[in-house]
Structure formats: C-alpha cells, structure tokens
C-alpha cells in the first residue's frame, strides 16, 4: 500500500479505466502491493519420491511500497535481506509467488505479448556487477544497440546514431563503440550498462547496487551522472543499496528492509535524522564518522546473526537481535537482563547448549543444584535479580534430565514478548514503521495467533 500522503487510494488504473494522461500526477508510477517471492528447496521429483517436504526460502515476504514519478526511492538493508530479489521480481525478471505490481495502473503480472514488450521498454535495470553484466563477446556498440534491435526500434542508421549519442552522453567517446568490455575500467563498464538501459527511452530504472563494485573515486562520478540523467530524461529510480552514504546522496525517500520485509519508510532526511525502528537506528549507528569529534564514540553494533529466511522468527523478525524487545506488561526487568534471558531461551529452543562435560570433574551430574549453578555460569555473563534467577534456575533444572521442551516452556511462560506473538504492521502515513514500540501491540489485524503474516496461497 501507499506510504506517502500524496498517493491516491481510489484503486484507479487498469480497473478504473483511466488512461495515462487522465491519471493524477500524484498517482504512483509503480505500486507494489504485498509482494512475495519464495524459492523452494527439496521440491524436485526425486525429493518427492524420497518423501521430502518442500522448504520455502522467503526471500521477499509481503513487501508493499510506491514509487512516484520523478522520485528516487532507496531500498536499503543488509546483504541477503531481499533487496535485489524485490527489484528483479518487480521487473518480472523473477516470477512472483504472490502479490501485485502495478506500472502506470497496469498489473505487470497480467501483461503478455505486445503489452509485456511495452513494459520491458518502459522499465529497465542497471545491474550491480559491470564486469559480468556485459557480454565479453560483443562490442560496446553491439551491447548498447541490442535493445534497439530486439524491439525493432527505428532504422539501422538511426540506431547507429542513437548508440553514438548515448555513449557520449554517459561520458564515453563514440569512437570507442568497436571496443570490447575488457578494454574498459569498472567505471566505464558501468557507464556502458547505463547507456544500454537508456537505449529504449524508459521511464523507470531499477538501479541494483550500481556503485558497489566501483572504486570510491569513481562512485561519486557515476552517482552524479545518474542524477543528471534523471533530470534530463525525466526518469524514476528504485535505487537498491547497502551503502547509506549513497542512499542519502541521491534518494528522496528510503525504505529499510530486513529479512524479506520493509520495517520503515519515509523521506530521506527524516529517516537519517529521526529513525524510529531499532534496526534503522543500528544501521545508521554502524556508519563510520569522518570527524575527529566522533573518534571516541561508542558504537552499538547489532548483536547476533541474521536468521535464516527458511525459518524466520515468529512475530517481529528483528526481535532476535533487537536491543528494545518489549517485556510482558507485568514484568519489572531492565532491557539488558531481559535480553540475556531471551537469548538463553532461544539457545535452549535451538538446543544450542552443550551438556556433555557437565559434572565430569567438579560434582556429580545427578546433583541438580550443582548442575544448574555450573550451567548458569557458562550461559550467563552476569548475575540475575532474585525473581528472575529463580525462574531461570527452574528452567535449567529441566536440562538435568535433558527435558529441553520443559525448559523452554518454563522461560516462555514468564518472558514471552508481544514481539514474538504478533508481527507489527508497517501502516500508512508520512513515516510509517513496523515496530510494536509505535503501534497498538494488542491489535491482531493481519496476523495469525503466532504473529506470522499470512503467506501466499
């Protein structure tokens, strides 16, 4: 759904019967609604014969956003969060598992034949790696001209002229069109990729990490070129990047993505100056500072590892690493102590606790109290306050008999958070955020009893 106050919500477009000229200028050029893209493992005929169950890798899991005409929307997040897959699925380079993408009011997944070819002309991509995205067997002129040949645009002479004009416009010489990609630097190859993307005069470009493979000295040149081309050709960008400095330099709005979901979206200055989601705050905190005043700054890094998209956490997906997990209302506990107990419970649920060496030297393994004391010393870095220490002792006592389920259940009965029960919704407005710190956590709209969003049918 739309996350900008200016966007319309009347459902006009292909279903409403409006033409492009009749649509409001405020209507998004691109509208992504509840987009899912799953990759399946153990799904071959051989796996099914062996009785294996297919496993879904939830690369993109319910993403919604709008891109308005003439703007640059940045899509940012850690590697592996689903940014590039979102861009590829949006362009139909990957087929979606579920969801809807509209381009100028038309459902992209309903297009076929001439309509699909028209969409291919209007929406292009600049790939991340300028070395592998160019065919080494083709000359630069052939690479830039190929889209014109495929779509049979103009005459042969007009195509040659357009190729020369495009090469010069991106900062290369028209005399270089007979050279091969290996004769160019990384920055020059990316300029060739940009020229190829512009060959069909598109309206919309997906820029997939366009500067990440380039030297720092070249990155600014390519970004400035993209800004100039946007103004000159009236382009709309979806810029995918993990580099926050690039996002701030070129974007109008930013969508922050984590483990297949968007957790925050808003104007670039608002996101950078007033972030709401703990994940966004942690990303911004990790950016190196160039001033001497920041030399002694203590950086709060994100704890833990990114969960697997094969088995994402219930509820809020960031809760396993979040420094601000919400304790139960009736629980008086500080955040550090609560985080330590939550981490302990997660290790017990994963059975990521070694019990083999306990009791070999210091005490009899059958003495439960000694067992708990030894195990607690290994698993917790600091002592707990009275009530919480008693609960943890009860839970760890179950491990003396290797009753993992009972240990996990004892901790869950006291420390289960709303963050794991319900998935926060992104919402609408100028600066929406998917976090229970900012919504009504008792609302169950759009979630099941475990807090998982409903997946595709």
Element spanning 263, H or E = strand 261-267
Q: Do 240 and 41 contact (CB within 8 A), yes or no?
A: no
Residue 451 has pLDDT above 90, yes or no: no
Q: Which of 206-210, 290-294, 425-429 has the highest mean pLDDT?
A: 206-210
Q: Is this model's pTM higher than 0.85 or not?
A: no
CA proximity to 397, closest of 376, 377, 372 = 372
pLDDT for the residue 299: 60
d(CA 278, CA 437): 10
Among the ranges given (43-52, 133-142, 425-434), the one the predictor scored with the smallest mean pLDDT: 43-52
pLDDT for the residue 295: 57
More confident: 321 or 42: 321
Among the ranges given (15-29, 287-301, 419-433), the one the predictor scored with the smallest mean pLDDT: 15-29
- Please give the domain boundaries of the chain with CATH numbers for all domains: 30-282 (3.40.50.300), 335-416 (no CATH)
pLDDT for the residue 67: 97
Q: What percent of the chain lies above the pLDDT cut of 90?
A: 60
pLDDT for the residue 442: 52
pLDDT for the residue 139: 96
pLDDT for the residue 443: 46
| Strand order, beta sheet including 55-67 | 55-67, 30-41, 98-103, 106-107
pLDDT in tens, 279-311: 999 999 877 665 555 555 556 667 777 889 999
pLDDT band at 47 (very low <50, low <70, confident <90, very high): low
**Dihedral angle over CA of 407, 408, 413, 418, nearest 10:** 160
Residue 446 has pLDDT above 70, yes or no: no
pLDDT in tens, 226-241: 999 999 999 999 999 9
pLDDT for the residue 326: 92
């Amino acid at each position: 759904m739309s996350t900008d106050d200016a966007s319309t919500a009347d459902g006009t477009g292909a279903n409403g019967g409006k033409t492009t000229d009749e649509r409001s200028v405020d209507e998004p050029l691109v509208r992504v609604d509840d987009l899912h893209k799953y990759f399946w493992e153990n799904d071959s005929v051989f796996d099914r014969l062996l009785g294996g169950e297919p496993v879904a890798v939830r690369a993109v899991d319910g993403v919604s956003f709008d891109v308005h005409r003439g703007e640059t929307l940045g899509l940012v997040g850690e590697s592996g969060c689903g940014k590039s897959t979102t861009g590829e699925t949006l362009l139909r380079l990957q087929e979606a598992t579920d969801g809807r993408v509209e381009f100028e009011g038309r459902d992209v997944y309903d297009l076929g034949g001439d309509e699909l070819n028209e969409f291919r002309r209007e929406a292009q991509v600049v790939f991340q790696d300028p070395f592998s995205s160019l065919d080494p067997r083709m000359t630069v002129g052939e690479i830039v001209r190929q889209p014109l040949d495929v779509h049979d645009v103009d005459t042969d002479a007009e195509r040659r002229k357009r190729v020369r004009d495009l090469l010069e416009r991106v900062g290369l010489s028209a005399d270089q069109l007979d050279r091969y990609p290996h004769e160019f630097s990384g920055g020059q190859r990316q300029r060739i990729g940009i020229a190829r993307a512009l060959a069909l005069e598109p309206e919309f470009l997906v820029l997939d990490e366009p500067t990440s493979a380039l030297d720092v000295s070249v990155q600014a040149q390519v970004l400035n070129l993209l800004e100039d081309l946007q103004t000159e050709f009236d382009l709309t960008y979806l810029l995918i990047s993990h580099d926050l400095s690039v996002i701030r330099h070129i974007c109008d709005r930013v969508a922050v993505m984590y483990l297949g979901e968007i957790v925050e979206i808003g104007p670039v200055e608002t996101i950078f100056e007033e972030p709401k989601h703990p994940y966004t705050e942690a990303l911004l905190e990790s950016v190196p500072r160039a001033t001497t005043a920041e030399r002694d700054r203590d950086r709060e890094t994100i704890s833990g590892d990114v969960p697997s998209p094969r088995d994402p956490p219930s509820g809020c997906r960031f809760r396993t690493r979040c420094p601000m997990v919400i304790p139960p209302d009736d629980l008086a506990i500080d955040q550090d102590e609560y985080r330590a107990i939550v981490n302990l419970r997660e290790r017990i649920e994963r059975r990521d606790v070694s019990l083999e060496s306990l009791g070999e030297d210091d005490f009899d393994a059958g003495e439960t109290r000694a067992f708990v004391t030894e195990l607690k010393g290994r698993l917790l870095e600091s002592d707990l306050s009275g009530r919480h220490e008693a609960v943890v002792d009860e839970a760890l006592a179950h491990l003396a008999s290797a009753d993992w389920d009972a240990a996990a259940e004892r901790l869950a009965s006291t420390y289960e958070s709303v963050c794991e029960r319900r998935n926060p919704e992104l919402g609408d407005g100028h600066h929406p955020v998917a976090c229970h710190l900012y919504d009504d956590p008792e609302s169950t709209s759009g979630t099941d009893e475990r807090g998982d969003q409903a997946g595709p049918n």
